[in-house]
Structure 1
Amino acid sequence: MLSDSGAGGSLDETFTRYFQDIGKGRGSSGGHYRRNSKRELERFVEWAAGERGPDEWTGIVPDDADRDPKFDDLSESVFREYARHLTSDRGLKQNTVQTYYAYLSAWCGWCVTEGYLDTHFAQRASATAPLPDDDGRRPGDQQAWTSDQRHTLTQYVDDAAYEASERLSEVPADDPDAKARARYKALRAARDRALVYLVAYTAIRIGELVRDGSDPRRRGVRWEDVSLSDGSIDVYRKKQSWDSASLPDPVIEPLRLYKRRLDPPSDQWAVFPTLHFATVSKQVKEELANRGLDEEEISTLREDSDYDIFLALSKNIRVPSITTDGARGTLKRITEDSDVDVEHSKHEYLAPHGGRRGMGEVLVRAFGYTVAARYLDNSEEMVRKRYSHIEAGELGDAAAEAIEDIDG
C-alpha cells in the first residue's frame, strides 16, 4: 500500500528521511556511504528530469506535463534506461557502474518499505540486464606494499627521525628559535615514523587510526586506547563497534619513542594530533579564550612558545587528530622524499590501504586464511576472495610438481 505522498510525490522529497536513516554519527549526517549515495541519487533525479544524458534525452516525465519527476513515473523500463545511461553514457568502469546502481537500488528498496513504491523496480531482471558483470575488483584497492617497499619506507622514517633527534640535541640552548624549529621537526619526524609503522605492520584501516571528517564517531585513536605493554590498541572498527587490534613488535618501539617525544599531558590526547598550523592555532586561541584569557594575554603566550602545538601541550589543550586525508598526504610526502619505487596504475604513492593489503599478503602466505581474517578484521570468505591469487599460485605450483612427478 502506498503512503499518502507515494505515487504522486516527487522523488527528492524522500531524500531527507532516507539519508537520515542510512547516515552515521550525530544527526545522521556522517558516513561515506551516505555522501556517495546522496550524490548519485541527485544525479538520478537530474537524469529523470531530462537534465543529464544525451541531447535527445528528455527525461521520464510525459511530454505534455510540466513538472518534476514523480513516483508514478517510475517503472522497470526507467531503471533499465538508467542502467544503460551508467554503462554507456558516462564512461564509467564496470565495478563503478555496479556501485552507483547499487545506491539507486538501495533507495528504491527503502521506498518500497516506506510505502512510496509498491514494487522494487530496480531489482527486476529486466532493469539490471544492461549492467556489466562485476569484475570482483574494488576501484583503487589493488595496491599492496611489497617487502622491499615496506623496508625502504620504514628505513627512511627511521633515519629521518634519528637525524631530526640528533639535530635537536646539537642546537645550543641559548638559541630558542632554532631550538623550537628543531623540536618541531623532531616531533613531526617521530609522528610520521609511528604512523608509517602502524600502516605497514598492523593492517588497521586508516579510518580506524585517525579522524574521519565524515563520521564524528571516528575521532582518531587516543593514548588511552593504546597499551604498549600488552601490544594492543582499541579501534572503532568498520563493523561499527570497538575492538582490540594487535601491535606487533616492530611497531612498539616507534610508538614508545614517539610518545616520549610528544609527551602528551594526558592520555586523552590524540595519538596522531594534527600539526596543521591554522587548525592548531584556532584550537589554542579558542580554548584559551574559553579559559578567560583576553587577546593580549593569548598573543603573549603564543609569541613565547613559537609553535602553537607546544603551547597546546604545555596547557593541555587537546588538538584534534590528523584526518584520513591528512594521513594520506603524509604518506604521499614520505613516499616522494624516500624515493621508494612505486609502480601502480592508480597510485603514485604508497597508499594506506596498500599497507593493509600488503600485510594481508604476508599473513595469508604465512598462516593461512583463517588467521589472516582475524588479523584483518574480515570474514574468511572475504579474505579468500581478496587474496584468491595466492591460492591460485599455490595450486599452480602443486600442479607443476604433480606434472613433473608423472612425466618423470
Structure 2
Amino acid sequence: MIDDTAGQEPAARPLRSSFDRYLQDKGKGRGGEGGNYRRNAARELERFAEWAAGERGDDDWTGITPEEADHDPTFEDLDERVFREYARHLSGDRGLKQNTVQTYYAYISAWCGWCVNEGYLEAHYAQRASATAPLPDDDGRKPGDQQAWTPEQRHALTRHVDAQAREAIEAYTTLPDNMDPLDKQRARYAALKAARDRALVVVLAYTAVRVGELLRDPDDPRRRGVRWEDIDLEDGSMDVYRKKQQWDAASLPDPVISPLRSYRKLMDPPTDRWPVFPTLDQRTLAELVQEELADRGEQSEAIDERRGEYARDLLLALDEDIHPPSITTDGARLTLQRLTETAEIDIDHPKHDYLAPHGGRRGMGEVLVRAFGYTVAARYLDNSEEMVRERYSHIEAGELGDVATEALNEIDGNTR
C-alpha cells in the first residue's frame, strides 16, 4: 500500500493513516499480522474513526471536524475533549456492560499512547482525568479486571531493566580516558537513562507505591515527584504525598536499595532537591535550559555555544544545577510500554497490552496477602483492611475453596 501522507506533518495526517502501523506493532507472529489483541483493536479503532468522522449513523452527530471542513479527522482535531465525548458515546444507552465500556475505551487509549511515542500527538489525551470522567466505575464483578503483575512478569521485567542498566553503565565506566568528550557524554546519558528506567521499575514493582504518589501530576502542584531529599537509603524509606492528602513514609525493600544507590552515584545530583526520576523529554529540557541560562544573564549566542558542548541538555542541567521537572504519570506509562515491548513480555489482559504501573502495586498486594494476610498487606499498601479484603477477595475465595475440598475429602473418606 502506498502511503500518500508521507510528506505531511504527523499532526496533519488522517487518524486512519496510523492504524496499519499501530496494529502491526501490536500484532503477533510474522509481520505482526495475528493475535486476538490486534483483531479487537482493529475493530475498535475503526469504530472510533467512524464516530470521529460522523459516520456512526447518529442524526445529531457530525463528527469532530467542523461541518464546513473538507477533510477526514486528523490528529490536529484531537484533544482531551474529543476523548471525553467518545467516553460519553461508549457509556450511552447502548446496552454495554460497565467492564465492556472500559475495555473498548482501553483499546483507544492504548492507541493514543502509541501516537504520543510516534510523534502524532503531544500528550496522552485519552488518559487525562477529564477524558476518562464519563467512563463508568468498575462494577467489581471481576477482581481480575485490574491488572496485577504476575511473579513471572515481574521477574522478566526487572531482569530486563537490570541487564540493560548493567550493560550501559559498564560501557560508560570502561571508556578510555582519551575518548571524544561528546561520545563519552552520550555513553553517560545512555547509562543514566537505563539506570533511571531500572530504578523506576523496581520501585513500582516492590514498594506498592501509587504512581501518582511517586511522580509528577501536572494538575496537582503538591505532587511534584519524589526528590532525592525524600529518600533515605540507609533507613530504607521514602517520603511520598499519599492519596489521603498527607505526607507519609513508604518502605523501600532490599531489591530497591541497590539500584537506587547505583543510580544516584551515576547521576551525582548537585543538590538533594533534584528529582529522582527527571523527565528526559528533549523539548522540555531544551526550553528549560535556555530559559534558565537566559534568566542568569547569558546571551542567546553564548547559550547556544554552551549547549553545543553537551550531547544532551540533561547533562548541562546537571552541571549547572538547573532542576528539571519529574517525569509525569503519563510518561511513566509510556516508559513501561516501551520496556514491556523491548523485554518481549507477553501480556494477555483486556485493558492493557503492557505492564501498567498500577499492576506493580496490585502484584505486590497479591504477594503480601498470600504470604502475611490482609492486615499486613493493608499497612504496606496504605489502604484499609476492608478495602484490601475487597480488592483481593479472590485469594480468600480460593483458600476457602481449598478448605471446602479438604472437608469434603475427609467426609467422603469417613463414609466409605
**TM-score of the two chains, using structure 2 as the length reference:** 0.67
Q: CA deviation at 1:206?
A: 0.5
Secondary structure of the residue that 2:222 maps to in structure 1?
coil
The whole-number CA distance in structure 1 between the counterparts of 2:362 and 2:245 is: 21
Q: CA offset at residue 90 of structure 1?
A: 4.8
Deviation at 1:328, TM superposition (A): 0.6
Aligned partners of 2:273, 2:331: CA distance in 1, in Å?
A: 20
Counterpart CA distance in 2 for 1:139 and 1:324 is 24
Which position in structure 2 is the counterpart of 1:34? none
Alignment partner, residue 97 of structure 2: 93
Q: 2:150 aligns with which of 119, 142, 146?
A: 146
8 Å CA contact 2:98–2:139 kept in 1: the answer is yes
Structure 1 residue runs of 4 or more that deviate by more than 4 Å after TM superposition: 53-57, 85-88, 95-98, 137-141
Change (3 A) 1:400 1:279: same
Match of 1:330 in 2: 335
Superposition RMSD in Å? 2.7
The answer to whether 1:371 aligns with 2:376 is yes
Deviation string 1:201-249 (CA, Å, 9 cap, x unpaired) is 0000111111011212111010110000110000011111111100011
Structure 1 residue 267 corresponds to structure 2 residue 272 = yes
Match of residue 386, structure 2, among 353, 371, 381: 381
SS at match of 1:305: coil
User: Out of 293, 296, 304, which is 1:291 matched to?
Assistant: 296
Trace 1:305-324 onto structure 2 (pairs within 5 A): 305-324=310-329
CA distance in 2, matches of 1:133, 1:178: 51
| Separation in 1, partners of 2:164, 2:141 | 36
Distance 1:335 1:374 in 2: 29
Q: Which amino acid aligns with 1:136?
A: G
Secondary structure of 1:198 counterpart: helix
> What are the within-5 Å matches in structure 2 for residues 9-48 of structure 1?
none
Change (3 A) 1:226 1:89: same
Query: Which position in structure 2 is the counterpart of 1:302?
Result: 307
- Counterpart of 2:220? 215
Opposite residue 148 of structure 1, the aligned amino acid is E
Report the Cα distance in structure 1 between the residues aligned to 2:244 and 2:313, rounded to whole angstroms. Answer: 36
Cα deviation code 1:39-80 (max 9, x no counterpart): xxxxxxxxxxxxxx97599xxxxxxxxxxxxxxxxxxxxxxx
How much has 1:169 moved relative to structure 2?
A: 2.8
From the superposition, tell whether residues 134 and 173 of structure 1 become closer, same or farther in structure 2 (CA, over 3 Å): closer
2:213 and 2:263 mapped to 1: Cα distance?
A: 19
Q: Partners of 2:291 and 2:60 in 1: how far apart?
A: 55
Is the 1:269–1:318 Cα contact (8 Å) retained in structure 2? yes
1:159 aligned residue: 163
SS in 1 for 2:249: strand
Q: Using the TM superposition, give the Cα deviation of residue 87 of structure 1 relative to its aligned residue in structure 2, in angstroms.
A: 6.5
Q: Which runs of 5+ in 1 are unaligned?
A: 1-52, 58-84, 99-131
Matches within 5 A, 1:116-155: 135-136=139-140, 142-155=146-159
Q: CA deviation at 1:349?
A: 0.5
Secondary structure, counterpart of 1:341 in structure 2? coil
The one-letter code of the counterpart of 1:173 is D
**The 10-residue stretch of structure 1 (138-147 or 170-179) with the greater mean CA deviation from structure 2:** 138-147
- Counterpart CA distance in 2 for 1:133 and 1:200 is 25
Tell me if 1:171 matches 2:175: yes
5+ residue gaps, structure 2: 1-56, 62-88, 103-135
- Report SS of the residue matched to 1:89: coil
Q: Is the 8 A contact 1:172 1:179 kept in 2?
A: no
Which residue in 1 is equivalent to 2:195?
190
Residues 223 and 269 in structure 1, CA contact (< 8 A), matched pair in contact too? yes
Q: Deviations over 1:271-312 (max 9, x none)?
A: 100011111111111111111111112112111122110110
Give me the whole-angstrom Cα distance separating, in 1, the residues matched to 2:323 and 2:411.
68
Of residues 338, 341, 349, the one that matches 2:354 is 349
Deviates more, 1:137-146 or 1:220-229: 137-146
Task: Select which of 354, 363, 366 maps to 1:358.
Answer: 363
CA drift of 1:172 comes to 3.1
**1:91-134 CA distance string (max 9 Å, x none):** 65326989xxxxxxxxxxxxxxxxxxxxxxxxxxxxxxxxx997
Distance in 1 separating the partners of 2:240 and 2:145: 21
Query: Is contact 1:232–1:245 with CA below 8 Å preserved after alignment?
Result: yes
Report deviation, 1:353. 0.6
Closer/same/farther in 2, CA of residues 346 and 297 from structure 1, 3 Å limit: same
Structure of larger gyration radius: 1
Contact 2:204/2:211 (8 A) holds in 1: yes
Q: 1:134 to 1:219 in 2, by over 3 A?
A: closer
Letter in structure 1 aligned against 2:246: S
8 A Cα contact 2:230 2:238, kept in partner: yes
TM-score, normalising length: structure 1: 0.68
